[in-house]
Amino acid sequence: MSASGCPERWLRVTANGLYCEPGDFFVDPRWPVDRAVITHGHGDHARAGHRHVLATPGTTAIMRHRHPGDPTSYQPLPYGEALTLCGVEVKLAPAGHILGSAQVVIEYQGQRVVVSGDYKRRADPTCPPFEPQQCDVFVTEATFGLPVFRHPPDGDEIDKLLHSLTLFPERAHLVGVYALGKCQRVIALLRRQGYEAPLLMHGALFGLCGVYQAQGIPLGALQPMRDLPKSELAGKIVLAPPGAQNEAWARRLPDPRTARASGWMRIRQRAKASGIELPLVISDHADWDELIATIAEVKPGELWVTHGAEEALLHQARRMGLKARALSLVGYEDED
Ligand SMILES: [Zn+2]
């Protein structure tokens, strides 16, 4: 490999995230920049205030919705289409994390780096599956980068919720879901398991569900909880952001059974501390096995780990014969 082709020479770790010097763009920068390439719409990756944003049509739709009035110029780039920025080729490939989520495939002087953003490997009805990309350097997250994290099949978790409805028909089931991604995935999974009744929701969840529906993702009937009298809330599923689960509005629910959909629900203590009776281990991040399988499949020469529990993953990658390095990027959260 020539010195100029050496990826750490042209894709640098800065306080503002990964910066591609010859292409003059940042990937998921924390602070406003002239040109940003955004992997997906979660708040810690897609911040407001950039001048130019290059992202998938799904991500640009999410960003426009979340940052109304932002004078950003958005350039939607569909999956698989290449674009050249000052001699650097940029392509977006599905990451399977949420609607619009992408891996950024960056090619320069014969070297290819893939920045995966957040990703998962299992099927999700709300976005296309992760597509492995051959590359010299694979940049991965490690949110669940410990062998203890093995997510169960999502259908089993949804069945737990549906079974609970039959056990406690007099109770409302209050399910905590993040507004972007988890909410729509849980809805789509419920529909897939045959649950067709209208889903009741906290008002904060409607906006992004509308964005998904406008992008062609069917979610079925959704209804504001406030439209129903207390007497009709028994035996219903009510979705709400996790932060709203303990707020005053929830007191209208008859004897609510609290659930939460998150990869962190694998840790019983965490569920208990949040007062969750029914933890649902549904994650939008790769678990340990998926991280390892992905690295084995992509077969990069080198692995860079952005954030999360990187130690075990670095160790495992070295055992697999790869050069591995922690980037320790700051500003990304471990929400799921
Ligand atoms: Zn994310």
Q: What is the pLDDT of residues 187-231, one digit of tens each?
A: 999 999 999 999 999 999 999 999 999 999 999 999 999 889 988
What number of residues does the chain have?
336
Sequence ranges of the chain with CATH classification 3.40.50.12650: 154-280
In this predicted structure, the answer to whether residue 69 has a pLDDT above a threshold of 70 is: yes
How far does the centroid of ligand 1 lie from the alpha carbon of residue 40, in Å? 7
How far does the centroid of ligand 1 lie from the alpha carbon of residue 118, in Å? 5
Residues, beta carbon < 5 Å, ion ligand 1: 42, 118
Query: Which CATH superfamily is 7-148+285-326 part of?
Result: Ribonuclease Z/Hydroxyacylglutathione hydrolase-like (3.60.15.10)
* Contact between 87 and 22 (Cβ < 8 Å): yes
Q: What is the pLDDT of residues 233-280, one digit of tens each?
A: 999 999 999 999 888 888 899 999 999 999 999 999 999 999 999 999
How far does the centroid of ligand 1 lie from the alpha carbon of residue 144, in Å? 13
Q: What is the pLDDT of residues 268-310, one digit of tens each?
A: 999 999 999 999 999 999 999 999 999 999 999 999 999 888 9
- Under the banding of pLDDT at 50, 70 and 90, the label for residue 331 is confident
How far does the centroid of ligand 1 lie from the alpha carbon of residue 228, in Å? 33
Structure confidence at residue 4 (pLDDT): 47
| Tokens coding 268 | 């019983």
How far does the centroid of ligand 1 lie from the alpha carbon of residue 11, in Å? 21
- Under the banding of pLDDT at 50, 70 and 90, the label for residue 18 is very high
How far does the centroid of ligand 1 lie from the alpha carbon of residue 122, in Å? 15
In this predicted structure, the answer to whether residue 2 has a pLDDT above a threshold of 60 is: no
Share the mean pLDDT of the chain.
Answer: 95
* Architecture label for domain 154-280: 3-Layer(aba) Sandwich (3.40)
How far does the centroid of ligand 1 lie from the alpha carbon of residue 188, in Å? 18
How far does the centroid of ligand 1 lie from the alpha carbon of residue 99, in Å? 10
Sequence ranges of the chain with CATH classification 3.60.15.10: 7-148+285-326
How far does the centroid of ligand 1 lie from the alpha carbon of residue 3, in Å? 33
